[in-house]
Amino acid sequence: MSDSISSSARSVPVAIRWQGEGTSGRLHILDQTQLPARQAWLQCGDVDAVVEAIRSLRVRGAPAIGIVGAYGMVVAAAEALQRGLGGAALADHLRVRAGQLATARPTAVNLRWAVERCTAALGGLPADASAAACHGRLLAVARGIHDEDRRLCAAIGRHGADILPPGDILTHCNTGCLATGGEGTALAVITTAWDRGQRFMVFADETRPLFQGARLTAWELVQRGVPVTVLVDAAACHLLSTGRIAACIVGADRIAANGDTANKIGTHGLAVLAAAHGVPFFVAAPSSTFDLTLADGSGIPIEERPAAEVLAPLGVPAAPAGAAAYNPAFDVTPARLIRAIVTERGVISPVSRERVAAVLGAVG
Ligand code: MRU
């Protein structure tokens, strides 16, 4: 990857950068739709470009879109500065832009959470604060969310590696440095265990229709020197039946108060298969992915994506003209199928409303 930050142990690749000082800073995103063929960085000149990048999955993964949503609010303040907005016009502009950013994708709650943190911080400024003052405050909040996510990923990695059983691992979608501000969630558990000396093969579901497992997870692990084998999603059942897999571990886009977990389409099916084969199923996510306003997973909105993603995967037609497509981007895994949820605050197991409340306390 063309950029990285240093952590205590090693260099961690990054996929989101804020470059430049003060109001001349700009948001840069590694365009994940081009991976693994090309590493192209995209500069987001306005909020429309940030929203487009989130919607078209140039940046994706729940924590990563939260971070970009927060930087998007800084971009909104820069727009206000350019247009000379102040007073009520400035407040209106930031409110409209916050709404557009928070709803760019519906399922991952981190996006709404991060934008709300930004708007709450603006509430602490005087009513007549200038666009420059708003910009400064928002940049501090966005940088704080970004830095915090790096630390959360490291803590999730440590807690998860403590409980990861020995043996090969099966994962779904992408949950690494491309999906977060740090080493990842489920992938941080895997790489932390690897760095501690545990040895295994990582099996990565290709993750249809957008191939986040094949294109992104395999790419990250190859760079990290961790052995990875890609399989078609439909091969997971057979692989589990061989007895080779010691654990499945995935990330999350939104977790309800009882532990029901929304994640990439196919996750629920994988959890059912894991249960049928007696293989433990783990979820790894930061506290910002919990939505304690939802009693269970039935209230989690599931994003439906364009038919073309299914009918012409990677742009290659795979179905006849005239066929329709069903393309939900996420599904909800019931808490009863999850052995443990690994958070930065510790491990939730068994997964129950009481344990979620006990480990998370009040999530702000
Ligand atoms: O549609 P995507 O690629 O944004 O979906 C991402 C996932 O489902 C990830 O598993 C989830 O966001 C966790 S990322 C640490």
Tally of structural domains, the chain: 2
In the prediction, which pLDDT does 272 show?
Answer: 98
Q: Indicate whether 352 and 291 sit together in one domain.
A: yes
Pocket lined around ligand 1, Cβ cut-off 6 Å: 57, 60-63, 108, 173, 175, 179-180, 184-185, 212, 250-253, 263-264, 329
Q: 145 with 172, same domain?
A: no
| pLDDT for 1 beyond 80 | no
181 with 316, same domain? yes
Question: Over the stretch 90-114, which tens digit does the pLDDT of each residue have?
Answer: 999 999 999 999 999 999 999 999 9
The answer to whether residue 200 sits within a structural domain is yes
Q: Is it the case that residue 139 has pLDDT exceeding 80? A: yes
Q: Indicate if 136 and 187 belong to the same structural domain.
A: no
- Is 12's pLDDT higher than 80? no
Q: Taking residues 51-67, report their average pLDDT.
A: 98
Instruction: Tell me, yes or no, if the pTM score tops 0.85.
Output: yes
* CATH classification at residue 348: 3.40.50.10470
Tell me which amino acid residue 102 is. A
> Is there a domain that residue 157 lies in?
no
Residues 82 and 182 in one domain: no
CB-CB contact of 104 with 51 (8 Å): yes
Torsion sign (Cα): 68, 69, 70, 73 = positive
Q: Which helix (H) or strand (E) holds 110?
A: helix 109-122
Share of the chain above pLDDT 90, in %: 94
Show which of 94, 120, 151 is a domain's final residue: 151
Which residues are paired to 291 by β-bridges? 256
pLDDT at position 3 is 53
Average pLDDT over residues 270-299: 98
Residue 159 in domain: no
Tokens of 4: 């990285």
Spacing, Cα 344 to ligand 1 middle (Å):
18
Residues 186 and 230 placed together within one structural domain of the fold: yes
Cβ neighbours around 328 below 10 Å, total: 11
Give the pLDDT score at 364: 45
**Residues near 265 by beta carbon (within 8 Å), at least 6 away in sequence:** 328, 329, 330, 331
User: Which of 30, 149, 178, 264 is the pocket-test mutation for ligand 1 (most atoms within 8 Å of CB)?
Assistant: 264
Range of the domain at 291: 164-360
For 338-364, how does the pLDDT look when each residue is reduced to its tens digit (9 = 90+)? 999 999 999 999 999 999 999 998 544
Domain limit, last residue, from 151, 179, 212: 151
Averaged confidence pLDDT in the chain: 95
217 & 246 share domain: yes
